[in-house]
Structure 1
Amino acid sequence: MRNPVVVGVAASQSSLEAVDWASDEAWLRNAPLRVVHAWFGEAAHAPAGQETRLSKDAGAGLLDAARERALLRHPGLAVVTELVDDHPRQALAAAAEEALLLVLGARGTGGFPRLLLGSTSLRAAGHATCPVVVVHDTGAGAGGGGVLVGVQGKGHDDEVLAYAFDSARRRNLPLFAVHAWAYPLVAGPAHDLPLVYEEADIAAEHDRLLAEVLAGPREQFPDVTVTATAVRSNPARELVAGSQTQRLVVVGRHGEQRGPLGRLGSTSQAVVRHAGCPVAVVPV
């Protein structure tokens, strides 16, 4: 079987939106769709003595509904379902090993009305071996928008840009590349420091850097319309603000390999938590 697009489902509206997004992506990639539900953890909601049966039955029902939803959206799509006797985090980590990408809803079933991101989705974004798409409100950018990608410009952009350009090409969308930069920090003895930084010169250097980084992908994907912006700002702020009018935001995952969020750095974490549209996190 070809590597599938994997979507994890639970009893939430967010999961339904994730199924829609994953179905579209599988169709565009000519790949099978694998729908996974891990029923461990749901037992707490069942009456005493009936945890296993009711939890498994509920999980099977979720999978059937997800399959019907995917096929209604894309008749002829190859869809397989899997009810996993494991906890969601472990089940999704295992599924990601053979996936083209892993798709999850932003909200879980445990929660609080104002919680912006479920812990399972956040952890998967930080640890999965394949790209992870966290689906926020899919109404963002309806009727317009495109793919927004954050460009770091420090040698970690190849995989991120390849994913972003390919996504824009597959969906026939424009690409918006944003590189946010900060004014140089002043540190050290006063006599070692320049008297002034010319902001115009610094801005021009970042414009040049962004153009250089985008040159290869532009040549590889000539049909993608690209708008490139280098701006003095905080990268997370720019990407979260831009996400309100886009169809997809693409960020890289290259933080330190430690803690519960793995290599999910501060910028990527902020975007995954607060974006107004689906976010793709690409391991680099």
Structure 2
Amino acid sequence: MTHPVIAGVDDPAGAGDAVDWAADEAQLRGVRLHLVHAWLWEPHQAPESLDAQLLRRSGGEALAALAERAASRHPDLEVSSGVVDASPREALVALSAAAGLLIVGSRGSGGFPGLLVGSTSLHVAAHAACPVVVFRGPGGQFEAASGSRGGVAVGVHGREPCDGLLSFAFETAQRRQLPLRVVHAWSYPLVLGPGHAFPPVYEEGHVAAEENRLLSEVLSGWREKYPEVPVTEGIVRSGPAKHLVELSQTHQLVVVGRHGEPQGPFRRLGSVSQAIVHHAHCPVAVIPVE
């Protein structure tokens, strides 16, 4: 694994927890950590103006201090940093093409407490070429395996391809020596009648048993590949977003796939993934799924 972990730093003064998280992840993966601060001058400022130069220099100095912090945390970790003259969303999406993991902050801008996730984080999660972790902190960072919070939770759809999703979840749980909870949400399908959609009569126990069988079948090969990872299965008859948000209160990471329409407002970041990114209480990993 040679692709670096890249952390996008929006506000260097408040990015310490996210940088610690990124440094730990890079150390566990055995790859380089690169910190980037994408900076674009205001429209009324010329790039060569004194104010613009001072702002850019200040951002670079704060970023260098964060790089020193990461290097002190893991002395044998290779750490680099750089300021990019571009919009954050464009710079981070471009960098994702050569990254193994991209980490962005979740904080929204504009001073509205209800804005939990900024538009840049949503855009990057929807367009990046690699997995993206939207970091929520402080208090959202990984803890030791013996900590009070649980392990990794991943939401899957047993009837859709999910190899990339499960690979990321299992590998993360194995590296962190954490348990993994796999959640599969199901609902009764609608049968189309002449001009109407109506629910047929189902025996809930039979349908639930079939969904359990399907999930166990999907996970059988993964259990053999990662025998050290304790796995629990969860079948939920509801929308998956609410359940995964609840799990985020007791887990260290929630992993979701990127299933949406390419022409949608956030491309392939579907409604379920958006809801989880917005409302989760811990970091959320968004995985591109073919």
Q: Provide TM-score, normalisation by structure 2.
A: 0.90
Aligned equivalents of 1:61, 1:144: Cα separation in 2 = 35
2:18 aligned partner: 18
Distance verdict in 2 for CA 1:57–1:91, change over 3 Å: same
Q: Which of the residues 227, 230, 233 maps onto 1:228? A: 233
Distance verdict in 2 for CA 1:260–1:82, change over 3 Å: farther
Q: Deviations over 1:164-190 (max 9, x none)?
A: 000000000000001111123254159
SS at the partner of 1:92? helix
Q: What are the equivalent positions in structure 2 for 1:1-284 lying under 5 Å apart?
A: 2-11=2-11, 15-41=15-41, 49-137=49-137, 139-140=139-140, 143-189=148-194, 196-284=201-289
- Matched-pair contact (CA < 8 Å) for 2:258–2:286: yes
Distance verdict in 2 for CA 1:41–1:89, change over 3 Å: farther
SS at the partner of 1:244? coil
Q: Provide TM-score, normalisation by structure 1.
A: 0.92
1:143 deviates by 2.3
- Matched-pair contact (CA < 8 Å) for 1:240–1:276: yes
- Matched-pair contact (CA < 8 Å) for 2:45–2:52: no
Aligned equivalents of 2:121, 2:189: Cα separation in 1 = 35
- Matched-pair contact (CA < 8 Å) for 2:253–2:282: yes
1:18 deviates by 1.8
Distance verdict in 2 for CA 1:232–1:45, change over 3 Å: farther
- Matched-pair contact (CA < 8 Å) for 1:43–1:51: no
1:118 deviates by 1.1
- Matched-pair contact (CA < 8 Å) for 1:11–1:109: no
Q: Deviations over 1:81-119 (max 9, x none)?
A: 111111111110111110001001111554423310011
Matched residue pairs, number? 283
**Structure 1: runs of 5+ lacking an equivalent:** none
Aligned equivalents of 2:121, 2:262: Cα separation in 1 = 18
Aligned equivalents of 1:152, 1:126: Cα separation in 2 = 19
Aligned equivalents of 2:77, 2:51: Cα separation in 1 = 33
CA RMSD of aligned residues (A): 2.6
Distance verdict in 2 for CA 1:14–1:197, change over 3 Å: farther
2:123 partner amino acid: R
1:252 partner amino acid: G
Aligned equivalents of 2:217, 2:170: Cα separation in 1 = 16
- Matched-pair contact (CA < 8 Å) for 2:149–2:250: yes
Q: Deviations over 1:181-235 (max 9, x none)?
A: 1123254159x98862100011101101110111111111110000101111110
Q: Which moved more, 1:193-202 or 1:258-267?
A: 193-202
Give % identity: 54
- Matched-pair contact (CA < 8 Å) for 2:190–2:198: no
SS at the partner of 1:97? helix
